[in-house]
Amino acid sequence: MRNVFLFIRRHFNFLFFLVLQIIALSFLFRYNKFHEAAFMDVSTEITGRINQKYNGIEYYFQLKKTNEALVKENLRLRRQLLENYEAPDSTRRLIRDTIKLDSGRSVLKYNIMEAKVVNSTTASQTNYLTIHRGFAQQVRTNMGVIGPQGIVGTVVNVSENFATVMSVLHRQYKAVVRLKNGGERGTIEWDGLSPLFVSLKDIPKSAKVAKGDTVLTSQISSKFPANIMVGTVFEIVPDPTSNFYTLKVRPSTNFFNIEYVYVIDNMQYDEQKRIEDSTRKTVQ
C-alpha cells in the first residue's frame, strides 16, 4: 500500500494531467456531435477487432465440441436420406370386398452410426483405419464405412469397443461403383502406388466418359446406399487389347486427415446373403 502512495506522489502531476485530459475528452465527445460520431466509429472498430480476436481464441478451444456437434448433425441428416429406405412394390394391390389395401410404407434398410477414427495408415500396401466403436455398439464385419466426403472402406475385424476398417487404399479392396453420367458399373480397386488415385475397371468403351465425371456407389451394393460419392475421373486409360476402359479416379475422401466416419448397417444384409448363398447351392 505504501508503494502505491509513493507512486502516486512521484507521478502526481502526470496522473492529474491524465485525469483532466479524460474529463476534457469526455466533454468534447459528449457535447459535440461530430466528435461523438468519430469517437463511436473508432471505438466500434477497436471493440470489434478485440471481439474478433477473442472469438477466434474461444473458437479454437471449442473446436472439439464443434466437430462433435457437426458429426451428430450430419448423422441425423444422413439417416433421413431417401437412399437409406427401400419401398416395397406398390404396383400390386390386395383386393378384398372391393376395399383396396396398398402398403406404401418405406422400410429402413440402412442404419448409420458415427465413429471416431483413432488410428489410420496411408503409406502401406495394406492400409487400415481403427475406429472407436465395436460389437458393443452394434458394429460387425462387412459393414461399409463412409466419411463426410465419400466412401472409406469396409469393417473387417471387430472387438468389444474397436473395429478395424480395410481402407479403399488397400490392395485387396474392391467395391462395385457406377458413373453418374450413364450409370455404367465397374469395380474400384487400388494398385498400391499413389494414395491419391484409385482405379475403376470394367467400364465399357461404349460409355460416354470424360475427365471430371463423378463416380458414385451403385444401387446393387450390399454395403453402401446408392449415390454415395466415390471420386472423380482424373484420367481415361484406353486398353487396345480389350473393350473396357481403366479409369484413374481421384478419391473424394482425404485419407490423410480423416477424423470421423459413419458406419453403414445394411439391416437386410443377412437376409440377402442367405438367399444368395441358398441360390448358389441350389444351382450347383
pLDDT in tens, 35-51: 556 655 565 556 556 65
pLDDT-derived band at 97 (thresholds 50, 70, 90) equals: very low
Are both 35 and 136 inside the same structural domain?
Answer: no
153 contacts 173 by C-beta, under 8 angstroms:
yes
CA atoms of 209 and 114, how far apart (whole Å): 34
CATH at residue 136: 2.40.10.340
CA atoms of 174 and 180, how far apart (whole Å): 19
Q: Is 170 helix (H, G, I), strand (E, B) or coil?
A: strand
Instruction: Tell whether 100 is covered by a domain.
Output: no
Phi, psi of 80, rounded to the nearest 5 degrees? -95, 0
Mean pLDDT taken over the chain: 79
pLDDT given for residue 106 in this prediction: 59
Give the least confident one: 3-12, 101-110, 154-163, 193-202.
Answer: 101-110
Are both 117 and 241 inside the same structural domain?
Answer: yes
Are both 259 and 205 inside the same structural domain?
Answer: yes
Task: Calculate what percentage of the chain has a pLDDT beyond 90.
Answer: 25
Are both 120 and 192 inside the same structural domain?
Answer: yes
Instruction: Tell whether 96 is covered by a domain.
Output: no
Are both 30 and 145 inside the same structural domain?
Answer: no
* Number of domains forming the structure of the chain: 2
Are both 123 and 217 inside the same structural domain?
Answer: yes
* Section 198-208 average pLDDT: 90
Are both 53 and 125 inside the same structural domain?
Answer: no
Are both 52 and 151 inside the same structural domain?
Answer: no
- Residue for grid cell 456407389: 217
Q: Is 17 helix (H, G, I), strand (E, B) or coil?
A: helix
Instruction: Tell whether 200 is covered by a domain.
Output: yes
pLDDT-derived band at 65 (thresholds 50, 70, 90) equals: low
pLDDT at 143 over 80: yes
Which domain range does residue 168 map to?
107-283
Instruction: Tell whether 70 is covered by a domain.
Output: no
- Among 26, 44, 61, identify where a domain stops: 61
Are both 28 and 130 inside the same structural domain?
Answer: no
Instruction: Tell whether 97 is covered by a domain.
Output: no
Instruction: Tell whether 85 is covered by a domain.
Output: no
CA atoms of 273 and 261, how far apart (whole Å): 25
CA atoms of 208 and 199, how far apart (whole Å): 17
147 class by beta-carbon count within 10 Å (0-12 exposed, 13-18 middle, 19+ buried): buried
Per-residue pLDDT of 234-246, as tens digits, reads 998 877 888 888 8
| CA 266 vs CA 56, 74, 180, 195, 262: distances in Å | 41, 19, 23, 28, 13
pLDDT at 100 over 50: no
Instruction: Tell whether 90 is covered by a domain.
Output: no
Higher pLDDT, 61 or 125: 125
Are both 46 and 124 inside the same structural domain?
Answer: no
- The pTM of the whole model exceeds 0.85: no
Instruction: Tell whether 11 is covered by a domain.
Output: yes
Are both 54 and 114 inside the same structural domain?
Answer: no
Are both 118 and 22 inside the same structural domain?
Answer: no
